[in-house]
């Protein structure tokens, strides 16, 4: 099962991806959580302790690994490099495990001209493709607000593309943009999860602005989750949000 989670910044997609990963792990699945958001904080949401988080190095920052796999020197820019580097061993070698979840942090390319083809981008794209198309684990990807990590071929291997939204016009506008882009590259199943819901009016607003059949469910606005974020703690300790995400998981499993 391959699930990509995205949404506008601040809507709670990382919280949702973390709880989803923990729930699948609790059910006995081998789970690989992939932090593909440049603002990487999935480890914290998963409940990784600070001493482990401080040692995590994103794949995009592993200069020696990138140089080795793409056949480029580490100390200079080269226009000649491998476009199909070996990546199949990277998840097992470089993931970090805690609370039953294996975590792989992708990172991002910090240099200018991020749209260009460079060794770092090539390795990340190739690795993403491998995770979606060949890896045998349940893969939950916490993505940035877009589909930049997915190409057309890779997209067809994603079982579900979940956009986390909140009851606001800008969040739902992002949902429709992502839905169109995802449809354009052949992602077959695109769903939404409403987060930070305070009342029935919030639910109604979300359902009025998306396809109701695509809605997997709702997560209540939860002060305990807000406080856990401020305290650098995992939201998985709050029973209410865990039960709400569990109900969404049950519906998701039935659909895919």
- What percent of the chain lies above the pLDDT cut of 90? 54
222-247 as b/e: b if 16+ CB within 10 A: beebeebbeeebbbbebeebeebbee
Q: Please give the radius of gyration of the chain, using alpha carbons only, rounded to the nearest integer.
A: 18
Cα–Cα distance, 143 to 28 (Å, whole number): 24
pLDDT in the model for residue 191 = 95
Total-model pTM: 0.89
CATH number of the structural domain 2-255: 3.40.50.300
Span of 17-21, 74-78, 124-128, 144-148 with lowest mean pLDDT: 74-78
Distance of CA 184 to the CA centre of its chain: 20
Read off the pLDDT of residues 66-83 as tens digits, 9 standing for 90 and up. Answer: 989 988 876 555 566 777
pLDDT in the model for residue 59 = 92
């Amino acid at each position: 099962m391959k699930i990509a989670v995205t949404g506008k910044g601040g809507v709670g997609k990382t919280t949702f991806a973390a709880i989803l990963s923990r729930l699948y792990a609790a059910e006995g699945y081998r789970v690989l959580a992939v932090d593909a958001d440049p603002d990487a904080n999935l480890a914290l949401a998963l409940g990784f302790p600070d001493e482990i988080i401080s040692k995590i190095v994103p794949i995009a920052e592993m200069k020696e690994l990138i140089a080795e796999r793409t056949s480029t020197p580490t100390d200079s820019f080269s226009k000649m490099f491998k476009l199909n580097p070996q990546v199949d061993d990277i998840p097992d070698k470089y993931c970090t495990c805690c609370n039953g979840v294996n975590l792989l942090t992708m990172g991002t390319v910090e240099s200018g001209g991020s749209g260009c083809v460079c060794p770092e981008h090539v390795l990340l794209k190739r690795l993403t493709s491998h995770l979606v198309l060949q890896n045998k684990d349940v893969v939950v990807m916490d993505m940035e607000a877009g589909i930049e990590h997915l190409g057309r071929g890779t997209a067809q291997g994603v079982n579900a593309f979940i956009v986390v939204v909140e009851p606001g016009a800008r969040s739902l506008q992002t949902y429709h943009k992502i839905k169109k882009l995802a449809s354009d590259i052949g992602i077959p199943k695109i769903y939404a999860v409403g987060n930070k819901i305070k009342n029935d009016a919030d639910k109604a607003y979300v359902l009025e602005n998306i396809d109701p059949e695509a809605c997997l469910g709702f997560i209540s606005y939860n002060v305990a989750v807000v406080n856990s974020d401020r305290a650098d703690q995992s939201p998985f300790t709050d029973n209410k949000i865990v039960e709400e995400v569990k109900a969404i998981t049950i519906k998701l499993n039935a659909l895919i």
